[in-house]
A and B are shown apart, each in its own frame.
Chain A
């Protein structure tokens, strides 16, 4: 349960971490470092893995937009990542459109799916929201599994092409595909950042911290929640579509609850409500799973499960939150409390 004695400082958690607040040179430097890392990634690691990191990073940013800023934990985000992966794959196979168009159409499909799910799910908050979104995502899993004519059922979609205006390097080589897809990933992340730092984003944080007061001030809390849910689903869809294009196939895995769980793990590990943390988390988890898979270790859940337990017990601010809190402490600033939003404390006026 969240205490009702949170200080205003604590309420600001998730907007901008204190260590970097108001220090734009530091923020620009950080942005520059991030860009350099993003550009250098396929030189350093195997390009398809670099693309995996980029896609999962955008996916986690999308989830963090919802979890960190609206205080809503979606445990069914694979529905949007996966539905877009299928739509993107089908568009690329059947219509042969250029891959950015396919991925964007996938994202639109994910948003169309998110609207009814969001409208139903926001009728509940807190833990119920997590359970309801998980259940709806599982429903989609069964639909995809049964609808064999379109989705290929357990075989999935094979041979998804990466059409790109006949530029062969991009269409065949993962190294060049990464650079062709990166602008879309970065645009998605920039969009999330814009949402968070817009008036809309501020209201969102208010609905997270004190829904009753936001409602009393005349904001339609449910409408804000549905809107951010759909936006988050769109970004998750963009990520899922690019992931499918990168791999050249779509499998049931993309709509499974394990995928929903993985993106939650990435977000929590990186640090809830930080956006940067989502990116760091994606880098860590994708690399870890790649290492484990290539070493032939077959109990990935043992490792990821333990990471989950340790992070939740000991590092609830996540990697990014822990680092920025340390920076803030050294500068003598106040450190925000470690808590997910107060979405379930409707009575806390």
Chain B
């Protein structure tokens, strides 16, 4: 029983990274119609920047949770202004290809700068060790990651459903033309939304830094699983991205525990089943298909 609970917590922690990053991917797709292939690279950048800041300036984990996403937001703004916006009127496949190129570029630049071996990162004292609940012992850091990202996802959801900003973003996601006709400057929201999506990937990276090996390639398989996540959840759907993120994390963790050879494969089998049963994804609508 304790083992099962442990795998569940591990799965939810791994799912947190997917959920946060997929949320960013979904928001960017919703407003820009762009699938950001560089999202995995941005997740990697989040972790690398956190590690480098710790090494160079001594910036610890807690402030990094704020500083790194802000830096990645700015990075996203620059990328959107310099590249993505130039292809906005064309078939979205071009931006998919563009961000793929950017991702190759970023990964190899980081590889040249910091090598292929992992960068060190120490987790804060408070979060190391075990959390005891009666007879259960759970790794504190993984519980923290899950709760923290759940909080962030809930915050983003509130932002989207309860504020004027969220209303505008949702409206431009649903019916861009109509929103524009109602006098909303949709274009003005495109750049900050892209930056925000990148910042979420960066935040996932910071959370992963004390937990995973920080290498230039850490985002490379991450992005492909992220694609499976958004296909499962339904690409346009914010709730779908988060739910599917945690779901895939759980599937991966149970897979690793009970059928280690199949753990990666199971995720894609799940994706195939979803495509068969509901092509638009669990939370997607058919018109987005």
Contact = CB atoms under 8 A, between A and B. Distances in A.
Interface of A: 1-2, 73, 120-121, 123-124, 126-128, 130-132, 134-136, 138-139, 142-143, 146, 257, 261, 264-265, 268, 298-302, 304-309, 312-313, 316, 338-342, 344
A132 B231 contact: yes
A261 B224 contact: no
A214 B224 CA distance: 32
B275 A132 contact: yes
Contact of A300 (B102, B108, B271): B108
A306 B96 contact: no
A301 B87 contact: no
Contacts of A127: 35, 92-93, 96, 235
A142 B265 contact: yes
6 contacts: A2-B90, A135-B227, A305-B108, A308-B101, A309-B102, A344-B91
A143 B263 CA distance: 11
B105 interface: yes
A305 B93 contact: no
A14 to B, nearest CB: 13
Contacts of B90: 1-2, 316, 338-339
Contacts of B261: 146
Given A123-B279, A131-B230, A135-B227, 18 more contacts: A1-B33, A1-B90, A2-B91, A120-B276, A126-B93, A127-B235, A128-B235, A132-B227, A132-B231, A139-B268, A264-B100, A268-B97, A301-B108, A302-B104, A302-B109, A305-B103, A305-B108, A306-B101
Contacts of B106: 305
Contacts, number: 136
Contacts of B228: 135
Contacts of B187: none
Contacts of A309: 83, 98, 101-102, 105
A302 B91 contact: no
Contact of B268 (A123, A126, A136, A306): A136
Contacts of A338: 90
Contact of B101 (A136, A298, A312): A312
A1 B92 contact: yes
Contacts of A306: 101, 105
A301 B275 contact: no
A313 B87 CA distance: 7
A153 to B, nearest CB: 11
A299 B33 contact: no
Interface of B: 33, 35, 83, 86-87, 89-94, 96-98, 100-109, 111-112, 220-221, 224, 227-228, 230-231, 235, 261-262, 264-265, 268-269, 271-272, 275-276, 279, 289
A305 B268 contact: no
The 8 tightest CB contacts between A and B, nearest first, are A308-B101, A305-B105, A301-B108, A305-B104, A139-B268, A301-B104, A131-B227, A142-B264
A216 to B, nearest CB: 18
Contacts of A121: 275
A1 B91 contact: yes
A340 B93 CA distance: 8
A299 B112 contact: yes
Nearest to B227: A131
Contacts of B111: 298-299, 301
Contacts of A300: 108
A23 B57 CA distance: 67
A131 B100 CA distance: 12
Contacts of A305: 101-106, 108
A297 to B, nearest CB: 10
A128 B92 CA distance: 11
A338 B105 CA distance: 25
B181 to A, nearest CB: 17
A302 B112 contact: yes
A16 B130 CA distance: 67
B177 to A, nearest CB: 11
B275 A124 contact: yes
Contacts of A134: 224, 227
A135 B220 CA distance: 12
A135 B268 contact: yes
Given A131-B231, A309-B102, A138 B221 contact: yes
Given A130-B96, A139-B265, A339-B91, A124 B279 contact: yes
B104 A261 contact: yes
Contact of A308 (B104, B275, B279): B104
Contacts of A268: 97
A251 B86 CA distance: 38
A299 B91 contact: no
B94 A312 contact: yes
A312 B87 contact: yes
Contacts of A301: 104-105, 107-108, 111
Contacts of A136: 268, 272
A340 to B, nearest CB: 5
A68 to B, nearest CB: 12
Contacts of A131: 35, 227, 230-231
Contacts of B275: 120-121, 123-124, 132
Contact of A316 (B94, B105, B108, B271): B94
A146 to B, nearest CB: 5
A143 B265 contact: yes
A70 to B, nearest CB: 13
B109 A299 contact: yes
Contacts of B264: 138-139, 142
